[in-house]
Amino acid sequence: MLVVACPGQGSQSEGFLSSWISEVPGFRAELERLSGFCELDLIELGTSAAEEVIKDTSNAQPLIVAAAIASYRTLFEAVDVSGVVGHSVGEFAAAAISGVLSDESAMRLVKIRADAMAEAAGLQPTSMAALLGGEIELIASHLESLGISIANHNGAGQVVAAGGKDAISELVANPPEKTRVIELKVAGAFHTGYMESARLRLKEAADQVESSDPKLALWSNFDGALVSSGAAFLDSLVNQVSRPVRWDLCMESLANMAPAFVELPPAGALTGLVKRGIPGSNPIALKTPSDFEKVSS
């Protein structure tokens, strides 16, 4: 059983799509097609745009989703893929790959999501921080005392906290016992109530979109369970904007099935979590086109 994974925001890096465009037949054409749906020049963003430009939430989210969709459409036609899972915004790519959404709907919605989340982040100063190690009970108690919530349960000893900028600064200065804290370079407190205005804006757009039940196995960041209803998954994509991501539960479901695991570009982050979180797994990260040889062999 082969499962492909679609990464989330923060995985992108300057020029990360250059080799894919130059070495993978049809990749440029796919990006041009996807660019038309979100009204962005994804080729420029993935090749020559400065790091600060592709860190901008409005650009980063559509770019990451497009990279996953384009790599899947150009590389996996002859590969027997059984399932797909996404992390955070990567669930939009997973929705397209599984057939829940058309590529056009996925790209249009993710652009609306990106713009709305960037706008919501500008309403008040907020931030996020990754916490590595420590005991989850102690971490949760410490965060609660600071008025911060867990936005991402990533498993493998990692959670991401989100909240007011001052509270995150206090967390960095005084971390929980046996925990390392790294403030993230993001626009705001994603996957929390600070994003409620963005959720409402995305819901308005999603209500106009048609969905289908998945044609591949698809796991949800809501509870880690297999998705049976495309309409329910679309609702989950909307609510995910202001709700915690449960990647840990997705990994638990995958561990029980012991599939081969391939992370689509921009790859690396999810592969690392799977290596640490699922003992004995041997996930493949498609960081460059040559990495695909490991999949087809």
pLDDT in the model for residue 109: 98
Region of poorest pLDDT, from 89-98, 128-137, 203-212: 128-137
Q: What amino acid is encoded at 260 in this protein?
A: A
Helix/strand/coil for 3: strand
Tracing tokens 């005392």 back to the chain, one arrives at 145
pLDDT in the model for residue 279: 85
Does 206 score more than 70 pLDDT? yes
| 101 close to 92: Cβ distance less than 8 angstroms | yes
| 211 close to 174: Cβ distance less than 8 angstroms | no
pLDDT over 70 for what percent of the chain? 99
Sheet holding 126-132, edge to edge: 180-183, 126-132, 158-164, 149-155, 245-246
pLDDT in the model for residue 257: 78
Q: What amino acid is encoded at 88 in this protein?
A: S
Does 5 score more than 90 pLDDT? yes
pLDDT in the model for residue 296: 66
Residues 100, 113: Cα–Cα separation, whole Å: 17
Please give the average per-residue pLDDT across 266-280, as a whole number: 92
Runs of H (alpha helix) within the chain: 18-23, 27-38, 42-47, 51-55, 57-75, 90-98, 103-121, 136-146, 165-173, 196-206, 230-239, 247-257, 269-277, 293-296
Distance set, CA 2 to CA 81, 117, 261, 289, 290 (Å): 5, 33, 6, 18, 19
Strand partners, 288: none
The reply to whether the predicted model has a pTM over 0.85 is yes
Identify the burial level of 177 via C-beta atoms within 10 angstroms of its C-beta, where 0-12 means exposed, 13-18 middle and 19 or more buried.
exposed
How would residue 167 be classed by pLDDT, with cut points 50, 70 and 90? very high
How would residue 75 be classed by pLDDT, with cut points 50, 70 and 90? very high
Helix/strand/coil for 285: strand
pLDDT in the model for residue 10: 87
Residues 102, 108: Cα–Cα separation, whole Å: 10
Catalytic (active-site) positions: 88, 191
How would residue 228 be classed by pLDDT, with cut points 50, 70 and 90? very high
Sheet holding 260-263, edge to edge: 217-219, 83-86, 2-6, 260-263, 284-285
pLDDT tens-digit series, residues 85-119: 999 999 999 999 999 999 999 999 999 999 999 99
Task: Report residue 126 CA to chain centroid gap.
Answer: 20
Does 297 score more than 60 pLDDT? no
